[in-house]
Amino acid sequence: MSAPNNSFDPVEVTPLHPDEVARMREEALAAIAAATDLAELKEVRLAHASDRSPLALANREIGALPPAAKAEAGKRVGGARRDVGQALKERQAVLEAERDERVLVEERVDVTLPWDRAPRGARHPLTTVAERMADVFVGMGFEIAEGPEVEAEWFNFDALNFQPDHPARTMQDTFFVEGPDGGASGLVMRTHTSPVQVRALLSRELPVYVVAPGKTFRTDELDATHSPVFHQLEGLVVDEGITLAHLRGAIDAFVESMFGAGLRTRFRASYFPFTEPSAEVDMECFVCRGASVGDPDAPCRTCSSEGWIEIGGCGVVNPRVLVAAGVDPEVYSGWAFGLGIERTLMFAHGVRDMHDMVEGDIRFTSAFGSEN
């Protein structure tokens, strides 16, 4: 560290000489410009901009000058140091940008490398389709009702107006549950989701707007189109002033939501003990829209060139069912439907064989993900 130099004229103090200051500045700027990377620039900064740099040392000499000379010398040295600082900053930015560009290129990876370390699973499409179907109705203000799968015969048949010896009772191939003594238990595997109608009416306040998705059971051997265990979505509305027009509206909403807008629906008169009148419901084929009917050159696999696809059964709740469920049929009326969930999945996603829905093969399920 230099001692104050009081005995010299400022101009005579060599480091503060304008030429000297200019030389130091030029030298520094040249070094900065010559630095080719950040490490070199760091060296340059130490050499030309640190406390020990020539300009910094020159700056210290200013204090020893007579007051009259301080201002000029200060201005000269300060200007040079600012220029050097600015040049350093700019060079730093340039070199950092160059480095970043280089490093980010060097750090490039192969983004096509697979990452299946912890593979995702999937929900069963019957589950998700059932949820989608139910949600169509939840959106219209329906609630989801539930009931047991092992059901009392009374709920599965009697309360639904299946009389003990009516042929309709044998139409459905029922799994009967044995009693503890090997005799009759009065229990069956429910053959449809319709017993939930009666349970909903017995347990809920009127009006009732419910859907009930669930498992149902019949003694059919598994083949491409049958399964002893299958799924239905039951719908039930009981309110004042309810007509078949509201039933058609509900069915239309379902078809539009699952298969697209503008598809016609039709009712075919049919028979179920628990609805009167009863109908089978068809929707227009969403693939050919009827164009395949009578056109052997363009057959439709989806509807077998029928133009219509059967989606379920429905009807006006038989007042006898209302009576058994404690509802006054003079005041209330309603309707119910049962839609096949397997059928809906088969049509909506082109599933061809019931085995695929039953066997639990992960290739089948994985294709659908958690939602579909």
Q: Between residue 296 and residue 335, which ones bind another protein under the rule CB under 8 A?
A: 316, 318-320, 323-326, 333
Query: Considering the complex, what minimum distance in angstroms separates the CB of residue 298 from another protein?
Result: 18
Rounded to 5 degrees, φ, ψ at 157 are -125, -65
Query: Considering the complex, what minimum distance in angstroms separates the CB of residue 300 from another protein?
Result: 17
The answer to whether residue 149 forms part of the interface with another protein (CB under 8 A) is yes
Query: Considering the complex, what minimum distance in angstroms separates the CB of residue 13 from another protein?
Result: 55
Reduce the DSSP state of residue 311 to 3 states and report it.
Answer: strand
Return the amino acid letter for 51. Answer: D
Pairing of the two strands 208-217 and 265-272: unpaired
Query: Considering the complex, what minimum distance in angstroms separates the CB of residue 319 from another protein?
Result: 6
The token pair that represents 47 in the structure block: 């050499």
Q: How far apart are CA 68 and CA 288, in angstroms?
A: 101
The answer to whether residue 114 forms part of the interface with another protein (CB under 8 A) is yes
Closest C-alpha among 167, 122, 64 to residue 363: 122
Query: Considering the complex, what minimum distance in angstroms separates the CB of residue 183 from another protein?
Result: 8
| Residues 193-206 as b or e (16 or more Cβ within 10 Å = b) | bbbbbbbbbeeeee
The answer to whether residue 289 forms part of the interface with another protein (CB under 8 A) is no
Query: Considering the complex, what minimum distance in angstroms separates the CB of residue 301 from another protein?
Result: 19
65 Cβ neighbours under 8 A, 6+ residues apart:
10, 13, 16, 73
Reduce the DSSP state of residue 81 to 3 states and report it.
Answer: helix
The token pair that represents 187 in the structure block: 């229990």
Q: Which stretch binds another protein (CB under 8 A): 33-41, 89-97, 100-108, 156-164?
A: 156-164
Q: Which stretch binds another protein (CB under 8 A): 75-83, 179-187, 296-304, 345-353?
A: 179-187
The answer to whether residue 40 forms part of the interface with another protein (CB under 8 A) is no
H or E, element range at 288: none
Task: Return the residue of 56, 57, 69, 140 that touches another protein, per CB under 8 A.
Answer: 140
Q: What is the DSSP letter of 334?
A: E
The answer to whether residue 35 forms part of the interface with another protein (CB under 8 A) is no
CB nearer to another protein: give 53 or 193: 193
Cβ atoms within 10 A of the Cβ of 137, count? 22
H or E, element range at 106: helix 67-106
CB nearer to another protein: give 83 or 276: 276
Query: Considering the complex, what minimum distance in angstroms separates the CB of residue 282 from another protein?
Result: 10
Q: Which of residues 348-367 bind another protein (CB under 8 A)?
A: 357-362, 365-366
CB nearer to another protein: give 249 or 350: 249
Q: Which of residues 187-246 bind another protein (CB under 8 A)?
A: 187, 189, 202, 207, 209-210, 215, 219, 221, 228-229, 237, 242-246
Q: Which of residues 248-287 bind another protein (CB under 8 A)?
A: 248-250, 252-253, 266-271, 276-280
Task: Return the residue of 36, 50, 86, 163 that touches another protein, per CB under 8 A.
Answer: 163
Q: Which stretch binds another protein (CB under 8 A): 26-34, 95-103, 154-162, 296-304?
A: 154-162
Q: Which residues pair with 340 in a beta bridge?
A: 232
Q: How far apart are CA 296 and CA 26, in angstroms?
A: 93
The answer to whether residue 184 forms part of the interface with another protein (CB under 8 A) is yes
CB nearer to another protein: give 57 or 177: 177
CB nearer to another protein: give 92 or 270: 270
Listed as own residue / partner, the contacts of 295-299 with beta carbons closer than 8 Å and 24 or more positions apart are none
Degrees (nearest 5) of the Cα angle 258, 260, 265? 85
Q: Draw the binding track, 79-108, toward another protein (x: CB under 8 A; -: no contact).
A: ------------------------------
Residues in the chain: 372
Answer whether the bond into residue 277 is a cis peptide, omega within 30°.
yes
